Structure 1
Amino acid sequence: MKVGNRMTLYIVIGLILGIAVGSILSPMADQGWVQWIDQYIFNVIGQLFLNMIFMMVVPIVFISIVLGVYNVGDPKTLGSLGIKTLGFYLVTTSIAITIAMTLANILDPGVGQSDLLDSEEVSEYRTSELEGGETGQAIEQTVDQTIINIIPTNVLNAMATDNMLQVIAFAVFIGIAMISVKDKVGGLVKLFEQANEVVMWIVMAIMKYFAAIGAFGLVATAFTQAGFDAIQQLGMYFICVLLALFIHMAIVYGSMVQFMAKKSFVWFIKNFAPAMGVAFSTSSSSAVLPISLETAQKNLKVRKGISSFVQPLGATINMDGTAIMQGVATVFIAQLSGVDLTIMQMVTVVIIATVASIGTAGVPGVGLVMLAMVLTAVGLDPAAIGIIIGIDRLLDMTRTMTNITGDAAIAVVLDHQQDVKEERQAAKNGGAKA
């Protein structure tokens, strides 16, 4: 079942209708009938679609990583692929947050708006999230704990709690073991391949019959709750984040695809559009992963072995869009607070945001948890997150789209590098025979 142009068109129509309907209802969001429609129609439609996709994430990631590792065939090649993938992810994330902070310092989105720090949203965020809330607990996790937690002590628990980094680690071990006893696991390999066909069929059936209406529901509820009033209040911040996202996608990803993969970026965007549309509506790198894999393999012609390894790993540790939000938000909140960040503080933000992205769940709103960690590290009040939380759901859509586009772009680059390597090997073998 292929990700086709008709499906893309339906998703786009669903997104446009969702934005239009949500924007129309947003000014009346405090009325009972609008709240009823939002809760029992938009939210139900959107969450049912999201749950169906989330239902398939762990099976897809586990099976894809196992097959991806096995298809690489050589542990040395796997190690090389892993190092290159991690290198690309860390570099692009560092570039992303640097672009964001530079742009924010140029546009000054927080200058002259210090009164926002006295808003009720700040007090509510401090009370509900920072004083014993989940965000406060998340901030306490240190780098060493993050590294230790990569290896699961209970695989079933890791799968049950959607701890994707642990699921990936276990899948890599299984894949390497299957390579090591290759002659004895023919039946197991076939079982994984058949399981992969089954789960991908389910995913594409969900996409075919539910994606458009699910996208409508998710976007409609987001715009009903936030709408353009919230955007107007924080207009410069909103524009700054969107502009940084656009620059990063067009220049960084565009250059990678154009010069490193020798492909047209327009071709890339056109063929990856179905996954980008779902990412926009779901705001979840993990939820869109099954569609990202299918789209990259079928439309972008990326090898399954490379796509199945690179993209699930990216959905877990590559958060360029989130890093951009953190960079802009840190400068924005510093400007609201009348604080001039030093060069060393800015470097600290880049390092912490890059490292913090590793092992962070690809679910809606997780960027705010990471932002609280960054703000705390440079001495800013994390309660100020309450100012931007109203429009974060809208920006979450665009940065998730950026996140998964980066994963696919890197997969395309690594796939091209594998083509070049194979061509050189073939030429070398041909020359040796001659």
Structure 2
Amino acid sequence: MTPPITSVTHARSPRSLTRRLRGFISGRLWLQVLVAMAAGILAGVLLGPTLGWVTPGTAHLLASWAALPGYLFLAMVQMIVIPLVVASIILGMASTDSLEQLRQTGLRTGAFFIATTLAAGAIGVAVVLLIQPGSFIDSQALAGEVLPTDPSAPLSLAELPQRLTSIIPTNPLQAGVEQNMLQMVVFSIMIGVALLTLPERQSRPLLELLGSVQELSMVVVRWAMFLVPFAVFGLILQLTTRLGLDALLGLGVYVLTVLAGLALMLLLYLGLYRGLRRRPVKGFVSAARDAQLLAFSTSSSAAVMPLTMQTAVERLAVRPSIAQFVVPLGTTINMAGTALYQVVATVFLAQVFQVDIALSQLLLVVLLAVGASIGSPGTPGIGIVILSMLLVSVGIPPEGIALIIGVDRILDMCRTTVNVTGDLVTAAVMDTWIGDEATAPDAA
């Protein structure tokens, strides 16, 4: 058996990557984001149709320039997510002790992610059917611009074999350009397994290169972080200017429905931690706070991935080999919060447009939400992109997206927090399930 490759991968520990984010934590970035959000809503009310202090043309011009930092932030995160995730997954796999441990970790982690995402979808269905937020909305009053959707037909059984083989990238560079995260995850896993079979002298140069890619990616992430308060202010101002305050307030029941579902999902994660990790929930809540607040501030699980890994290792006593594999993988395939949001949004819009959804269609929505969430980039706004595919599958008018995009930023921040919490819980549970030779300090 080839000895494990640990000297390179552990040299760049989560702590070394996270040092670039510490200033944003101590500077209370989350509080800056909340202030920026309130200021954006206030400025949007002054400029928008609610008060109309300026002409519509002037308001549109001012809002477009105010949103520039937001678009720059989104572009920078999307630019760096592929190299950051690929390098992290490969290095995490290379840090495992053996192929047998890797097999156990991969299978159990994947099954856990799928099970919790399905549970999130079920919770979403339950809360939206119970609260019926669509009955509080007048779709004609909120109708706005029509956003493009994916017009492709639903997947047929005959196409399934071809779709399954398509997850293997014949051209990894093209998959990276298209941001096909599922293909990139498969590519990274294959490279990581291959590296485990090579002697250290042959694998070391590539691991050193990937370690440098990780470091460079975090430099770009840190640059993007400086834009976060300005990004939130500009994007919220633009949306409030276009829709008006009345339209946003009219969506309050929908927002509360999504938040209620996300809160239930958080409670489920805490219950899983207590039951499967067999340690106090209070310690987990205290340990995970910084990662959760940074996830809330950035709406990007990829951007906070190093901090999530450090939290798992240093504050939850997860072995580095487990954390460095589970967390990067979870950044791309653990989207329970996103799946829950998509289910609630789809059923909500069906209620608004009075589209009847049968039980079989509800099951289809849950399965499609889970499948579409797996492999999607951990970047801001990805939930709206996935939602557009779900609406077509159940016959909901595509213009429905325009009704909810105004409040998506707030919900994106909350569902990202749930996703990162799920990554931490999964890492802790896997550490308990896969051996007991922990090498970390005492758990929280």
- Whether the TM-score (by the shorter chain) exceeds 0.5 is yes
5 Å-filtered alignment, 1:13-412, equals 13-30=31-48, 31=54, 38-40=63-65, 42-111=66-135, 113=137, 115-116=138-139, 119-121=142-144, 124-125=145-146, 128-130=147-149, 135-136=150-151, 146-185=163-202, 187-188=204-205, 191-192=208-209, 194-195=211-212, 198-199=215-216, 202=219, 207=222, 211=225, 213-227=226-240, 229-249=246-266, 251-412=267-428
CA, structure 1 residues 136+404, in 2 after alignment: closer, same or farther (shift >3 Å)? farther
Give the Cα separation in 1 of the matches to 2:207 and 2:381: 38
Give the Cα separation in 2 of the matches to 1:301 and 1:92: 22
Give the Cα separation in 2 of the matches to 1:270 and 1:248: 18
Aligned AA (2:370): T
Cα deviation, residue 84, structure 1: 1.0
CA, structure 1 residues 57+304, in 2 after alignment: closer, same or farther (shift >3 Å)? farther
Give the Cα separation in 1 of the matches to 2:88 and 2:107: 19
Query: How big is each residue's C-alpha offset from its partner over 1:78-133, in whole Å with a ceiling of 9 and x where there is no partner?
Result: 222111111111111111111111111111111254x4157532xx32xx414xxx
Give the Cα separation in 2 of the matches to 1:381 and 1:334: 9
Aligned AA (1:7): I
Give the Cα separation in 2 of the matches to 1:6 and 1:119: 37
Cα deviation, residue 265, structure 1: 3.5
Give the Cα separation in 1 of the matches to 2:142 and 2:24: 46
CA, structure 1 residues 335+413, in 2 after alignment: closer, same or farther (shift >3 Å)? same
Report if the CA contact (8 A) 2:153-2:393 is conserved. Answer: no
Query: How big is each residue's C-alpha offset from its partner over 1:310-331, in whole Å with a ceiling of 9 and x where there is no partner?
Result: 2222222222112212222232
Q: Identify unmatched segments of 5+ residues in structure 1.
A: 424-434
Which SS does the other structure have where 1:302 is aligned?
coil
Give the structure 1 partner of residue 7 of structure 2: none
Aligned AA (2:84): I
Aligned AA (2:374): I
Give the Cα separation in 2 of the matches to 1:210 and 1:336: 37
Report if the CA contact (8 A) 2:333-2:374 is conserved. Answer: yes
CA, structure 1 residues 189+418, in 2 after alignment: closer, same or farther (shift >3 Å)? farther
CA, structure 1 residues 281+7, in 2 after alignment: closer, same or farther (shift >3 Å)? closer
Report if the CA contact (8 A) 2:77-2:224 is conserved. Answer: no
Aligned AA (2:165): I
Cα deviation, residue 8, structure 1: 4.3
Give the structure 2 partner of residue 432 of structure 1: none
CA, structure 1 residues 352+45, in 2 after alignment: closer, same or farther (shift >3 Å)? closer
Give the structure 2 partner of residue 430 of structure 1: none
Give the Cα separation in 1 of the matches to 2:189 and 2:239: 41
CA, structure 1 residues 385+187, in 2 after alignment: closer, same or farther (shift >3 Å)? closer
Percentage of pairs with the same residue: 33
Give the Cα separation in 2 of the matches to 1:275 and 1:345: 36
Give the structure 2 partner of residue 431 of structure 1: none
Query: How big is each residue's C-alpha offset from its partner over 1:172-195, in whole Å with a ceiling of 9 and x where there is no partner?
Result: 222222211235426336625752
Cα deviation, residue 5, structure 1: 8.2
Cα deviation, residue 140, structure 1: 7.7
Aligned AA (1:64): S
Which SS does the other structure have where 2:434 is aligned?
helix
Report if the CA contact (8 A) 1:302-1:415 is conserved. Answer: yes
Give the Cα separation in 2 of the matches to 1:416 and 1:200: 31
Report if the CA contact (8 A) 1:67-1:305 is conserved. Answer: no
Report if the CA contact (8 A) 1:117-1:336 is conserved. Answer: no
Query: How big is each residue's C-alpha offset from its partner over 1:116-159, in whole Å with a ceiling of 9 and x where there is no partner?
Result: 157532xx32xx414xxxx3369789765653332212222333
What is the TM-score of this pair, normalised by structure 2?
Answer: 0.80
CA, structure 1 residues 50+350, in 2 after alignment: closer, same or farther (shift >3 Å)? closer
Cα deviation, residue 255, structure 1: 0.9
Report if the CA contact (8 A) 1:29-1:225 is conserved. Answer: no
Cα deviation, residue 389, structure 1: 2.2
Aligned AA (1:152): P
Give the Cα separation in 2 of the matches to 1:119 and 1:136: 23
Report if the CA contact (8 A) 2:67-2:235 is conserved. Answer: no
